[in-house]
Amino acid sequence: MGKSLQYTTYLNGISSEYFSTTEKSGLQIAEQNKSYIKYNPSQQLYLRNNIGKIGLSAIFTFHFDLHLNNDFYLNLINKNDEMKLITKPAIILNGAAGIDVNSVPSYYAQRTNIISIPLFLDYLTKCSNYFSPSLKNMISYNYDNIPINLINLKLNYKKPVKETTSEIIKIFSSAKGISANFWLLESKRDRLDTISKISFYIFYSVSFIVLFFCFFNLTASMTINIFEQKKKLQL
């Protein structure tokens, strides 16, 4: 397109069941192959015809008119060196739970692109070896040493929620070398509902007060006008 834009862009590997454990209400698909509609976005990344492809944020469609059939270069930079990989979009997202994707231009916004975990390991290995100073430092990444940023768990609710979550927290807490923060969507949803109710009552209270003063002002104006007109009629 003859222009260059720079964003803080992340490349995250996700499992095939990622979107099976997240809320569907926030999922907004800008473009996808019609043949794969029955699969969610994370499952589409694991399809045979989408091997090596990336799930893109819709911001790239906005700026570069980039669509599913277009090739593009993924430029990986390490200090003054860089490595280029050519690929295609598997799916373009305008919204997704836990992933920073949208089509709204912003200088400060960060963008997240998603790929399958096998492709993530492949990129990780290629980058490490390409930027490696010597053959001794070359490494091959596998599932044992993959860096994990987020784990989504969807409970089946056969046990009480508090009991199940406490068991999960014990498992992660007992693991060596792992530090993690835990949060429940249900608890956040309850907080949001409470905040929404409070905002609702505040809004209507303020509206009632404003309407009361407007009515008082209108009544006072009408009374004064009637009083002045009465004087004119008496004259």
Bigger pLDDT: 182 vs 103 = 103
Q: In terms of domains, do 19 and 132 share one?
A: yes
Query: What range defines the domain where residue 221 resides?
Result: 159-235
Q: In terms of domains, do 131 and 200 share one?
A: no
pLDDT of residue 235: 54
User: Taking residues 99-120, what's their average pLDDT?
Assistant: 83
Decide if 88 contacts 53 (C-beta within 8 A): yes
- According to DSSP, the residues that pair with 86 across neighbouring strands are 73
- Which are the contacts of 179, defined by CB distance < 8 A and separation ≥ 6? none
* pLDDT tens-digit readout, 31-50: 999 999 999 999 999 999 99
Q: In terms of domains, do 51 and 92 share one?
A: yes
For residues 48 and 51, what is the distance between their CA atoms, to the nearest angstrom?
6
Q: Considering its fold, how many domains does the chain have in total?
A: 2
Residue 230 phi/psi, 5-degree rounding, is: -65, -40
Stated pTM of the model: 0.68
For residues 182 and 14, what is the distance between their CA atoms, to the nearest angstrom?
19
Instruction: Write down which residue in 122, 154, 186 finishes a domain.
Output: 154
